[in-house]
């Protein structure tokens, strides 16, 4: 099993290109099931989750081509994937496929909307909380679907098609909003989504669906209106920059010190996180086609945060920020309000010498201590990259095991960091 070895102490200087967002690319790929014509997606990252979803889509009979996939290509630039669901042969998504990645459950929406039926396994993915699918099922039922859970599978039927309705989510759910959006595009009549997720990835999906002929208004706000259409057509759409990758590398620069241009990204995608980073004493400078992050000397200031739905501080940057706070002056409090089990990285950071106490949904980090390299184990995608950030400043050698988590969400991580001066390498095994 592969592992990553880091020898800490080097500042980061240079340019890091930001990849397309995995959390945007996955629902966009799934949206191709809504049409018999080809959907072209550009700036798609090369990640394990993308490959897994392509296998699932192929199981339905979806054809795909990856443009420019040839010897010697730049594996850090986004790829172009063309998907054609003109000959779907099955609406069944088995456990062995869906269990590898939670987002694959969302295929239930376009399959049901277009073909009137779907049988999809309950989802898998990172173990960071229960993240039940009850709100997703509720959304489909509000559009007239008959849904039941049978032997670990969600079976949804709408033989006469879906019908527009009002969907009010009792709490913000990105997955639920994705599902409701895709299902409602082909429903008869008007659908209202209240308390919708406002994340940029939701807006990106709505923009793509509108290019395909959907009629969606209000994406990016808590109130979305969708006027159903009989069918959708093909389109071409670029995947937006990955705001979580952007924030991760920004925090890595703040941790190590240095001066790095994060290229091909946008500050508006994660402004709250950048505002927090600026309060730590790190310079955050939006520039044309990117963001410059600089910290040259001076201590890292402790800052308290609470994770919230967009536009608040993202839960997907909580672990990375906790790693940063282990080197801050004083104590900081990190409150996690999105997922109940998202402090599993605490015990691994403690192996490096971090001083962290847990109190319910809060972690209290006593910073400015010395981190020392040690073997650690990744527990989920975001936790694993927090260990990378800590390892970049830890004395001696840090070995991170179970790095397949990293491969799910960070494209060419070792190459991007090593080019900026980090002493990091992957050891195959």
3-state class (DSSP) for residue 342: coil
According to the annotation, is 132 in a ligand binding site?
A: yes
The phi and psi torsions of 204 (rounded to 5 degrees) equal: -65, -45
According to the annotation, is 17 in a ligand binding site?
A: no
According to the annotation, is 195 in a ligand binding site?
A: no
Catalytic residue among 126, 198, 208, 420: 126
CA distance 382 to 312: 17
According to the annotation, is 159 in a ligand binding site?
A: no
According to the annotation, is 133 in a ligand binding site?
A: yes
According to the annotation, is 135 in a ligand binding site?
A: yes
The counts of H helices and E strands in the chain are 14, 26
According to the annotation, is 55 in a ligand binding site?
A: no
According to the annotation, is 338 in a ligand binding site?
A: yes
Tokens of 302: 């402790």
Task: Give me the residue label for tokens 């339905």.
Answer: 60
- 25-61 burial, b at 16+ Cβ within 10 Å, e below that, comes to bbbbbbbbbbbbbbbbbebbbbbbbbebbbebbebbe
CA distance 180 to 223: 12
For this structure, is 126 an active site residue? yes
Tokens of 345: 């990285």
Q: Which among 333, 314, 201 is positioned nearest to 251, based on CA atoms?
A: 314
Q: Which among 83, 119, 405 is positioned nearest to 234, based on CA atoms?
A: 83
Return binding residues.
22-23, 102, 131-135, 316, 338
Query: Which residues are catalytically annotated?
Result: 126
Return binding residues for phosphoenolpyruvate.
22-23
Return binding residues for UDP-N-acetyl-alpha-D-glucosamine.
102, 131-135, 316, 338
């Amino acid at each position: 099993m592969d592992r990553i070895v880091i020898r800490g102490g080097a500042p980061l200087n240079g340019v890091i290109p930001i990849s397309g967002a995995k959390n945007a690319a996955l629902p966009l790929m799934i949206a191709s099931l809504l049409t018999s014509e080809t959907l072209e997606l550009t700036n798609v990252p090369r990640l394990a989750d993308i490959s897994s979803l392509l296998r699932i889509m192929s199981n339905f009979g979806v054809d795909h081509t990856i443009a420019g996939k040839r010897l010697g290509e730049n594996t850090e630039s986004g790829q172009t994937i063309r998907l054609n669901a003109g000959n779907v042969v099955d609406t069944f998504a088995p456990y062995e496929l869906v269990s590898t990645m939670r987002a694959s459950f969302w295929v239930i929406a376009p399959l049901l909307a277009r073909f009137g039926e779907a049988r999809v396994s309950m989802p898998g993915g990172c173990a960071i909380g229960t993240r039940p699918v009850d709100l997703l099922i509720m959304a489909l039922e509000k559009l007239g679907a008959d849904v039941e859970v049978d032997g670990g599978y969600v079976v949804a039927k709408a033989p006469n098609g879906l019908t527009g309705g009002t969907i009010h989510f009792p709490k913000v759910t990105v997955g639920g909003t994705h599902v409701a959006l895709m299902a409602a595009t082909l429903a008869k009549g008007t659908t209202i989504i209240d308390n919708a997720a406002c994340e940029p990835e939701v807006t990106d999906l709505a923009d793509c669906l509108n290019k395909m002929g959907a009629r969606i208004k209000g994406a990016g706000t808590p109130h979305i209106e969708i006027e159903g259409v009989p069918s959708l057509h093909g389109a071409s759409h670029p995947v937006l920059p990955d705001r979580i990758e952007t924030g991760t590398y920004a925090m890595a620069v703040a941790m190590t010190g240095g001066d790095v241009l994060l290229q091909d990204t946008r500050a508006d995608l994660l402004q709250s996180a950048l505002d927090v980073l600026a309060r730590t004493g790190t310079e955050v400078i939006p520039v044309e086609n990117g963001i410059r992050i600089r910290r040259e000397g001076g201590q890292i200031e402790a800052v308290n945060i609470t994770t919230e739905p967009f536009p608040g501080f993202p839960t997907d940057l909580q672990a990375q920020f906790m790693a940063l706070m282990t080197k801050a002056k004083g104590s900081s409090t990190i409150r996690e309000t999105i997922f109940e089990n998202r402090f599993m990285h605490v015990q691994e950071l403690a192996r490096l010498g971090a001083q962290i106490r847990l109190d319910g949904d809060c972690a209290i980090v006593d910073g400015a201590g010395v981190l020392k390299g040690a073997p650690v184990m990744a527990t989920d995608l975001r936790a694993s990259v927090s260990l990378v950030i800590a390892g970049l400043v830890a004395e001696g050698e840090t070995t991170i095991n179970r790095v397949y988590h990293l491969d799910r969400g960070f494209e060419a991580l070792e190459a991007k960091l090593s080019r900026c001066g980090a002493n990091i390498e992957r050891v195959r095994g």
